[in-house]
Amino acid sequence: MQDASKPSVTGDRTVMSDFDSSAAVFKSRAKKLATLMATGEARAELWRPDELAAVFRHQMSAPMLVDLGGFDPRTATRLRTLSEAQGLLLKSFADLFHHPSPPVELLELVKDFAKANLDHPGSGLPGEIAAALYYTSIAAALVRLDARISQLPDADLQRGLRWAMEQGWLDEKTKELLAQALKKVSNGKEAPSHE
């Protein structure tokens, strides 16, 4: 029997089951994000910056339904509904992150997808890319919706946003979104939590 708090993997795709957002799981995942950032130099040997740039560009233009469609059937249906709601036609990750009013539930799904890929050693997604998606989804919620979809303390969130902004392989539009989120968090204005 599979632990419901752990993601399962189908092929190269991570599938989320009922995600447990308890404090213990949260702290464990936050530590893994911190570890990823702390070991960036060792991981950088696996992927050159130009390769990470190509993977990130591909990921940003990839149809969300392909990557996120591996969720359970109920969540996959909700994803389709959200991505096509009100004529938004959010087809790619870039469409979602850079939309003026993206659905918060969809940003949360992307955040959970990124965390699952960070946590799974068999993920086909490089950890740096998963971390960038994670922080970009949080940044989009903060900047576009004034909503907080992460329980990370401000100091950890600032560190993660800075880390993502410093990645030379990230596109300028995404870096600007991250910078806006960092400014918002650094100003001490706590965005309302979306639970």
Average pLDDT over residues 78-103: 76
Residue 39: its pLDDT value, please? 46
161 occurs within a structural domain? yes
Average pLDDT over residues 72-76: 68
152 occurs within a structural domain? yes
38 occurs within a structural domain? yes
Average pLDDT over residues 80-97: 72
Taking phi over 0 as left and psi of -120 to 50 as alpha, with beta for the rest, 127 belongs to alpha
More confident site: 31 or 130: 130
Q: How many domains does the chain have?
A: 1
4 occurs within a structural domain? no
Determine the structural domain holding residue 151 and report its residue range: 22-62+111-186
Residue 63: its pLDDT value, please? 77
Query: Is pLDDT above 50 for 58?
Result: yes
144 occurs within a structural domain? yes
120 occurs within a structural domain? yes
CB 32 within 8 A of CB 52: no
8 occurs within a structural domain? no
Q: What is the pTM of this model?
A: 0.69
Residue 187: its pLDDT value, please? 85
State how beta strands 8-10 and 13-15 pair.
antiparallel
- Return the top range by mean pLDDT from 62-71, 106-115, 147-156: 147-156
Average pLDDT over residues 78-97: 72
CB 134 within 8 A of CB 33: yes
15 occurs within a structural domain? no
Burial class (CB within 10 angstroms; exposed 0-12, middle 13-18, buried 19+) of 160: buried
| pLDDT tens digits, 100-143 | 999 898 899 889 889 988 877 787 889 999 999 999 999 999 99
Residue 91: its pLDDT value, please? 77
Q: Label residue 146 by pLDDT band (50, 70, 90).
A: very high
Residue 117: its pLDDT value, please? 85
How is residue 134 written in tokens? 């994670």
Question: What CA–CA distances, in Å, run from 156 to 35, 135, 160, 161?
Answer: 12, 11, 6, 9
